[in-house]
Amino acid sequence: ETGVTQSPTHLIKTRGQQVTLRCSSQSGHNTVSWYQQALGQGPQFIFQYYREEENGRGNFPPRFSGLQFPNYSSELNVNALELDDSALYLCASSWGRGRGEETQYFGPGTRLLVL
Amino acid sequence: AQSVTQLDSQVPVFEEAPVELRCNYSSSVSVYLFWYVQYPNQGLQLLLKYLSGSTLVESINGFEAEFNKSQTSFHLRKPSVHISDTAEYFCAPPQGGSEKLVFGKGTKLTVNP
């Protein structure tokens, strides 16, 4: 059974640029959630995708967008990067029924630095 | 909205000492409670979770947590810690009716020899 994988592991961008982060969910999982973890903070929920549809969004501006593909892998896109977007971006997959009891399995994260 | 308070940002202890990591949550919504652990240079992984039934839940590596509804707490305890328990621990209940995890700020546990 393959776990959750993310790419790239590290990324450096400059302000105003755009970035795409990728996530492959664990085999058999149909739900992907994205979180942002700033230094010294707990992860903050960005959004979730269930069977290719957005299924909830946190307090993040529209320049944070995402996609889920038929194979349940996912992308997180961030436009017009700002310095405060520097963080560890975590992807988590689960077999989602939407009631909250499911365990989410996290990838190792992508560390983004915006200069 | 759900909020989570982890009262201690850092907890240093000696090996074989007991430890308690505290978590309080707002009573508004969630009926489920989770603890996740992040070992150095690794991703988050589930440590234990309370869904229903017995208020005391245990993990396979000796941690336990007790759901206390009246005090809205879900403190994590271990009677004797090992060096390998050094990690950051997050209390993370899902927001009611969803799989959106609401994380506390984390408690960094450092176990010294």
Asked if B99 and A106 come within 8 Å (Cβ–Cβ), the reply is: no
Residue given tokens 């440590």 in the structure block: B47
* Torsions phi, psi for A83 (to 5 deg): -55, -40
Nearest chain A CA: its distance from B54 CA (Å): 16
> What span, in angstroms and rounded, lies between the C-alpha atoms of A30 and A80?
29
**Surface-to-core class of residue B78, CB atoms within 10 Å of its CB (0-12 exposed, 13-18 middle, 19+ buried):** buried
What's residue B95's pLDDT? Answer: 79
Which residues of chain A does B104 touch, with a Cβ-Cβ cutoff of 8 Å?
Answer: 42
**DSSP type of residue B101:** B
- Sequence-distant (≥ 6) Cβ neighbours of residue B6 within 8 angstroms: B21, B22, B23, B90, B91, B104, B105, B106, B107
Instruction: Enter the tokens of residue B101.
Output: 């995890």
The tens-digit pLDDT sequence of chain A (115 residues) is 579 999 999 999 999 999 999 999 998 899 999 999 999 899 999 999 988 999 889 999 999 999 999 999 999 999 999 999 999 999 999 987 666 778 899 999 999 999 9
CA-CA distance, A27 to B45, in Å (whole number)?
17
Sheet holding A5-7, edge to edge: A5-7, A19-24, A74-78, A64-68
Task: Name the token pair of A61.
Answer: 């501006």
Show the tokens assigned to B3. 């909020």
3-state secondary structure of A83: helix
The mean per-residue pLDDT over the stretch B1-9 comes to: 84
Beta strands in A25-69 (DSSP E): 31-37, 44-50, 53-57, 64-68
Is A99 in Cβ contact with B96 (below 8 Å)? Answer: no
**CB proximity list for B61: less than 8 A, separation 6 or greater:** B85
Residues B57-99 pLDDT 10s: 999 889 999 988 888 899 999 999 999 999 999 999 887 767 7
Contact A33 B99 (CB under 8 A): yes
Q: Which residues of B touch A99 (CB under 8 A)?
A: 97, 99
Closest alpha carbon to B23 in B79, B97, B92? B92
Residue B102 pLDDT more than 60?
yes
Nearest to A83 by CA among A37, A17, A30: A17
H and E: helices and strands count for chain A: 0, 11
Longest dimension (CA), chain A: 39
Helix (H, G, I), strand (E, B) or coil at A102: coil
Looking at residue A102, its pLDDT comes to 85
- In three-state secondary structure terms, B38 is strand
Q: Best mutation site among A9, A47, A106 for testing chain B: the one with the most B CBs within 10 Å?
A: A106
